[in-house]
Structure formats: structure tokens, C-alpha cells
Structure 1
Amino acid sequence: MQVSSTARRLALGALVLVTALFGLAVISQPASAHGSLTDPPSRNYGCWERWGSDFQNPNMATIDPMCWQAWQANPNTMWNWNGLYREGVAGNHQAAIPDGQLCSGGRTQNGYYASLDTVGAWTAATKPNKFTLTLTDQAQHGADYLLIYITKQGFDPTTQPLTWNSLELVQRTARYAPAPQYQAQVDAGTRTGRHVVYTIWQASHLDQSYYLCSDVIFTGQGGSTGSPSASASASRSPSTSASPSRSASASPSRSAGTSPSVPTSQQPGGCTATYTKSSEWAGGFGATVTVTAGSAGISTWTVKWTFANGQTVTSSWNATVTSSGSAVTATNTAYNGKLSAGQSTSFGFNGSWTGTNSVPTLSCSAQ
């Protein structure tokens, strides 16, 4: 039977429509071929982590406005948090990436990540001045090196665009063999307050460079300088890649005073945990807990505390957090339980409070 030209055109049109819709469906899903900084989180990874399951919530506009503008500009900036790279840079990063465009990789991929360059008070992770940086590599590309920069003291990322001159290179790592995660011990020196950690990940499988902005608040206190869990030119790493749960709310960018809480004792080979309120607002707050291994390496950790004033945990990331009344238990995820002696990792959560929001006393146990 001969098919008419009209029927052929209709069939072709339907095929084109289906293909286009399929393409849109694919691009709206998180890519699985690459990676990003997960601690401290890159800007788009952090927005995905906090809002991926609730990205249409209008409350984001007031409690996490920088993420809100990024979601409004292009949701795929977050869905594809692991694809912010350029190819063919040949190590000449400063020539390839203009000032004011560092967080988007020079508006790579036709400006796909341009919203990450927006100046403002991005939600920041609270860190001691010596901390562990974790990069999650879902495809296990390996790394020729990581270049880790931190903004100079006095630079204000809430009002100034990020430039090469505002950064100081604090570390260039050696090569990492392919693994799910790569870690580096970073020393921020005497810096305090809000900063940007800018990391360039040079993947090993081809000339592919990732450009990653992480917002942090340095406490001015010390931290871990232990051996990384995936050391340069080695393949030691956590057994699985990062797949953190997405939280439904986010802490605002207003920073409150820090309030650490340290356990009174620690068994050899055990762990300690410190609690810092990173932000606080009417009815809500954000906190970061840093877990540090003792005199020997550990494989798992558990942190417990009891809120004294009726506070509750509403969302969390980088840990599994459960509550029974005022008692809270946090356990490691698959990708941050293994710590070398003296090494640290951290997790965060948002909570609610009324009246008083005192800092609890923590206990930490490990195996």
C-alpha cells in the first residue's frame, strides 16, 4: 500500500516532536558523567542539595535568594551540577576565564551556568581554617591536579565580583588516580569570615577543566590536617560516590555568631564533634557539625545530642539524621564515614526553634 506524502509528513513531524520532548526530558535530569565539589559544596551543588526536591517553593526567594535566582535563570544549572567544565584550555586557566565569570567557567556551554557568577550572599558552609576539601567524581575520571584558591582577606564576595586578583593560590595537589572521591587538606591561614574557595579540577581522561566556587565562613579556629582519604597518585577512596539526599529548605545567608560544642572526652581511635550555628533567623537556624577522627583511622561515626529548648531538625545533608523527641542521632553517609587519624568531615542541618536556641553538648562514637 502506497503511503501518501501527507501521511509521511505527519509521521515525520510526530517523530521530530517525540525526539525533541525526549531531549528536553534528558537535559532536565542530573548528568551522571562528571562531578563537583561536595564539601564545601559548589554553588550549584549546594542549591541542588538543599532545594532539589522542592525547587518551586516560593519561600526560597527570601531564605535562600541566591539559589532562587539561579533556579529562576535555568533549573538545569542545578540538575547538571556535575557538568561545569571547559575543554581544551591546556592549563591556561586565567587566559580562558575572564574576571567576573570564574564561577561559570567563563560562561561555558553558552552561559549554561551564568547565574553562578551573580554577586550576593550565597549560603555558606562554616569551616575551621584547616579543613578537608572533598571532590566527588561520579565517572572516576581521575585528576591531573587540583588548584585550590581562596579569596584574600578583605575581599567581600557579597558585593564584589570574583576576579583572579582577588584570589590566592593556597595549594596545587599531585595527581589522583581514578576514584569516586578525591580529598585534600586545606589551610586557610589566618583568614576569618566569608570567603570563596575556588577549585580547578583538571580531569585526567582528556583536557577537561572544571571550575568550582564554594562559599565558606572561616571561624579562625584550627582544624584537621590529617592525610586525605584519596591521596595523590593513589586510589584509596570511599566505596561509593556521593548521592546526598535533597533537603526541602535552606538556611538564609545571614550569619550568626559561632557556637562550638566539643565532647569532654575521646577514646583513642574514636572521634570528637564540634557544633557551630552558622545562621539564625526568626523561627529557624542552620548548623554545621564537624567530626574529627582521633589517634587512629575510623570507618564509621555516630554523633548524638539532646536539644534542651525544644529545637527540631527540619532537614539535613551529608549525614543521616534521625530524632526521637529532643534526642538527635546523626550517622555518616556511605561516602564520608572513613576518616584517617586526625582527619575531619562535616555535615549540616536546618532546624526550628522558639524562645531559646542554646548549643547542645555532643557525643561522638566511631568504629
Structure 2
Amino acid sequence: MTGVVTRYEELLAAGELRDDADQRAAVEQLGRVQAELEAGSPRKGLLGGLLGKRPQPVRGLYMWGGVGRGKSMLMDLFFECLDIGKKRRVHFHAFMLEVDAMIAEERAKKTEGPVRRVAARIAEDVRCLAFDEMVVTNTADAAIMARLFTPLIEEHGVTVVTTSNRPPHDLYKDGLNRSLFVPFIELVERKLDTLSLNGPTDYRLDRLGDLETWHTPLGDDATEQVREAFFRLTDYKPEDAQHVPSGELELGGGRTLHVPKCLKGVAVFSFKRLCGENRGAADYLTLAREFHTVIVVGIPILGPENRNEAIRFTKLIDALYEHKVKLFATAAAEPESLYPTGDGSFEFARTVSRLREMQSTDYMALGHGVD
């Protein structure tokens, strides 16, 4: 099969990609991983396979960077080109759900070391685990990850290649009982090479094309537009829409926020869930730090009786704006007509101004986070 470096060069020559130093460095590392995995594969090392020798462990790769910088595209190329039998590509969230189920099975058998046994089960079928979007928001996952991945990598020789929006030391940042998670970070830094992908080209904007961000009036057409934005941003197959992962965002103090759709830094919420319930500015800041894109559906026209909802919506938009989060929305009206009368409607003009700016090309091109 074609090497990932050769395939990347072909795409550059065809004008499908733009030259990017960060991407080139990542491709070279992916080429190294590919070559070493294939050299140790039974397909390529028949004698070693006949003698029952375990393939030598291959150092993995952790690629992190902003949205639209080509992480998923490079993972596509790597996985497509990798010529070994025992390989698997999976979204990290889906993988951890599988792990949770397997641990429950092992505990039901009352076996010793259920997490280590799960690691051994996984390693039976996989030499290379390729993860899309490693992000940790769940306390239970954070607590078991070092215990799972240490034997998986160090004892069973599984190679991990992963993408993430943040560097290893920022994973599960400020999470509850983070000390339990720190050994996993140390494992990643010890066993995986870390590369930053923050080049000048934002391929996300290319994928969005001419899609608008604010859709009114409410109805099937508006819903279809934000649905299309979600699938373009996440590369998830529309025909598999029923299986889009959900998530739980930890807000602190034992409180969580259910995220109905949560994938690759994109979250979908209803207006009722975000602004119809009692929430404060700290909740919205946590949300804005966690997701680079937020889709809010069902924004109604607000009146004097909706004063609390209007205040919460203002706090939500402030947090999203300050963290340069991209907003897609379905609404009953244009921003100027959302809160025409009521306590604070005059101050709502600033929110309207921000909503308009957030629709601009310049805003959409900004990187996620506070400068």
C-alpha cells in the first residue's frame, strides 16, 4: 500500500491541500509510525510470526491543535495507508463507553483486576488504536485511564495515535480528582510523541462553505441547516445520525450538564436546556472553554415574562464571544427582534451587536479560546 507521506505529497501536487509546515512534520511522524508498525506486522515479518515473537512496541503519536487544521484529514490518510491487520479507528468517546461496558462485564465475573483484563482483551485484536478527538470530561473515565492505558501500551505493546484540541497537560484541566488522571498524562508524555498542528489554513471554513450561522424562522429548513453544519464540522456520517455521541459536562460542585450531541468539540443544545434552567455565568464559561462550536436550537422571541431567560442568554453569548466560540442557531427571529420589550431590553442591544459580529467571516476565522 501507499505510504502516508507519498499520499500527502500527491494531495499537495493535486492542489487539494496547501503546504503547511506543521502538517508536514506530522505526516513525517505518521510515516515513521506506519513504517515501524508494518515492519513488525506478521504480514511483513512472517518468520517472527511463525516463531511466536511479539512485535516490538512502536512509539505512538499525539497530534493536537485548533479546529480545522487538518487533524482528522491526516488521521484519515494514516489509517487508510496503514497496512496491518490489527488496527482500529474509533472516536475516543465511543471507545470509553465500550470500555465502561467491558469493565462492568469483568466485575460481574468477580475477576481480579477488571481494568487490566479489559486492556488484555482489547490488545488481542488491536496493535494500533487510532483515536479521533481525545477529550476527557468524565470523572469516571479520568480515574481509570492510567490503569487502562499503562498495561495496554507498556505490557501489550499497543500503539496509540490520537488527535485532540488541546495539549496533553491541558486534558481534564480543573477536573474533579485530577490527581488520579495525572499518571495518564505522564504516560502520554513518556510513550507518545506530541506534535502541534496550528498552521495558517483553517479547513473548517472550507467545509462550511456558504452555510449561514443564524437561521430563522424556526422550522424544518432551519433545523436542516444547523444539522448540515454539525455533520460538516464533525465529519460524522448523516445516515448514522441516531448514533451521534452525547456527553456530560462537569460544572463543578457535583453538578453536570447533559450534552445531547457532543463530538469533536461541537455541542448541540436546546435554548430551553441552556437558558430555561437556573444557570450562572460560571456554567457558561465552562461550556465556552470546552467547546469550539455550539449549536443552539429553538431560540424564542422573549418578552417581559422571560426576563430571567434573557439575562441567561446574555451571559451565554458573552461567554461564547469572549472565548471565540462559533455559534450556529435556529431562532424565531433575527437578533434585533429577540427581546423587544422587558427589563434589560435596552442593554440587550450589546448582545445583538455581538450576535451580528459572531456571524462575520472575520469572527469565524478566529481561533478558539481567550488570547
TM-score bracket for the superposition, by shorter chain length? under 0.3
- Write 1 or 2 for the structure with the bigger share of strand: 1
TM-score normalized by the length of structure 1: 0.26
